Copies of this chain bind each other. A is one copy, B any other.
Amino acid sequence: MLSKSGSVAKLLRANQLRQTPIRQRVLALFLEHREALSQHFLEQKINEADRITLYRTLRTFEEKGLLHRAIDGTDKIKFALCGELCSPEQHQHFHAHFHCDSCGRTLCLENVEAPAAPILPDLSVSSMHLVIRGKCELCGKKKA
């Protein structure tokens, strides 16, 4: 994850992207929420933009290495802010995400150590993802 101090404008400039209102709003939402967001979520937050623009914005950010796809076991694509280790050429090769089956939120887990790569003869590994599912702290409280 990027430091909170990184302003939206800076982030765009650093990635050679134009300062458009929609891109700024999208990035601001990612910085604000600090979790993996779906296009659906962004559409609801940004009424001005139509879904095609959002669709392309997300993929542009992905190409530039600003966002990565968060694997959470659902069939809905979600994106999350990349850390410094990601770049257009090479994304960080280990990610861990927590998905709440109750509210559907997907959180990036920062401090999870990569498990030792299993021995897989004949398979070449380029990345690993740990998907953890359960109940988040908010949904856990509701029940209690």
Contacts and interface: CB of A to CB of B under 8 A. Distances in A.
A137 interface: yes
Q: Chain A, interface size: which category? A: 35 or more
Interface stretch (A12-20, A27-35, A49-57, A71-79): A71-79
A124 interface: yes
Contacts of A115: 115, 130
Q: How many monomers of this chain does the complex have?
A: 2
A120 B98 contact: yes
Given A71-B71, A128-B132, A133-B128, A122 B140 contact: yes
24 contacts: A69-B73, A71-B71, A71-B131, A73-B129, A75-B75, A96-B118, A101-B126, A109-B120, A111-B118, A113-B118, A115-B130, A117-B132, A120-B132, A122-B137, A122-B140, A124-B140, A125-B134, A126-B133, A127-B132, A128-B132, A129-B130, A129-B131, A130-B130, A130-B131
